[in-house]
């Protein structure tokens, strides 16, 4: 396909999948249960953190986690007691377990207390053209409290070669505009132009078939390559094509 044909094709798919019906089978439905900004942020971050594997399992476990937080994630993060944290001891999603989620609660409390919240951390440390260095800085802030080494694997670091799929997805949710009823558009200080596609097996395979990606591994170098291609199609909102790539892969088996 020529560039113009590819853009027309993908733009059509964006319109098809960037739609409220997308919420029915996607983890982004979890933060849509909340109205308060901090509840949306925290539920979105925690849901994105466990967003790997079977999507039904992701959604079910995210619901379980919200229920364990009394469906008031910001209040729980800011005011939990040791007894409250004990309720999370048996939580598990794949390799993310009670030890990890308990640290996440403590770290999120620290971020909202000492760093003015998730939005401030990402906004103040954003790089000129990309949020990948910003994610690395966020990880540094996130693990500034005493923690077990095992928990660090649950926050990716692009500067160590990761595509950071889950955090890039979380950032898409927070930054892209809310006009279609899918993403939230809560963070006004970060332009959508800096976002990167949440690169996974589905979006990667479709991108390769469409000649947007040559690299075989879904790593940081592949993400940079895909970023370049998608920004040529839409420099102001390149990550909108996540809907097209993911939808083609998951729903159409492209």
Q: Can you name the residues that pair with 146 across neighbouring β-strands?
A: none
Range of the domain at 224: 3-250
| Main-chain phi, psi angles of 236, to 5 degrees | -90, -25
User: In this predicted model, what pLDDT tens digit does every residue of 52-95 receive, in sequence order?
Assistant: 989 999 999 999 999 999 999 999 999 999 999 999 999 999 99
Q: Any idea of the CA torsion for 155, 160, 161, 164, to the nearest 10 degrees?
A: 20
SS3 96: strand
User: Rounded to an integer, what distance in angstroms lies between the CA atom of residue 9 and that of residue 80?
Assistant: 49
Q: How confident is the model at residue 1 (pLDDT cuts 50, 70, 90)?
A: confident
pLDDT of the residue at 147: 97
User: Rounded to an integer, what distance in angstroms lies between the CA atom of residue 29 and that of residue 48?
Assistant: 11
Q: By C-alpha distance, which of 42, 192, 167, 187 is closest to 124? A: 187
pLDDT of the residue at 224: 96
User: Rounded to an integer, what distance in angstroms lies between the CA atom of residue 31 and that of residue 46?
Assistant: 10
User: Rounded to an integer, what distance in angstroms lies between the CA atom of residue 83 and that of residue 87?
Assistant: 7
pLDDT of the residue at 254: 87
Q: Tell me, what DSSP letter sits at residue 212?
A: S
Q: Where are the strands (E) in the chain, listed by range?
A: 92-93, 96-97
Per the structure, the count of domains in the chain is 1
Task: State mean pLDDT over 160-179.
Answer: 97
Q: Kindly calculate the radius of gyration of the chain based on its CA atoms and give it in whole angstroms.
A: 18
User: In this predicted model, what pLDDT tens digit does every residue of 232-253 receive, in sequence order?
Assistant: 999 999 999 999 999 999 999 8
Tell me, rounded to whole angstroms, the distance of Cα 219 from its chain centroid.
16
């Amino acid at each position: 396909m020529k560039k113009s044909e590819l853009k027309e094709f993908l733009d059509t798919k964006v319109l098809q999948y960037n739609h409220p019906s997308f919420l029915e089978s996607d983890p982004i439905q979890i933060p849509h249960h909340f109205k308060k900004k901090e509840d949306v942020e925290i539920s979105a971050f925690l849901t994105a953190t466990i967003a790997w594997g079977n999507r039904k399992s992701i959604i079910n476990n995210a619901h379980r986690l919200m229920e364990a937080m009394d469906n008031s994630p910001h209040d729980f993060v800011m005011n939990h007691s040791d007894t409250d944290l004990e309720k999370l001891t048996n939580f598990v999603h794949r390799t993310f377990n009670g030890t990890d989620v308990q640290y996440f609660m403590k770290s999120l409390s620290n971020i909202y207390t000492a760093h003015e919240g998730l939005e401030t951390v990402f906004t103040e440390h954003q790089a000129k053209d990309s949020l990948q260095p910003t994610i690395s800085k966020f990880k540094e802030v996130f693990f500034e409290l005493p923690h077990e080494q095992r928990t660090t694997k649950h926050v990716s670091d692009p500067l160590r070669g990761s595509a950071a799929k889950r955090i890039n997805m979380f950032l898409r949710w927070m930054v892209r505009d809310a006009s279609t009823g899918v993403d939230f558009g809560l963070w006004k200080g970060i332009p959508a132009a800096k976002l990167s596609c949440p690169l996974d097996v589905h979006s990667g395979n479709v991108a390769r078939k469409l000649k947007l990606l040559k690299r075989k591994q879904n790593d940081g170098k592949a993400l940079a390559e895909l970023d370049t291609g998608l920004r040529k199609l839409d420099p102001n909102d390149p990550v909108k094509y996540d809907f097209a790539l993911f939808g083609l892969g998951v729903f159409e088996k492209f």
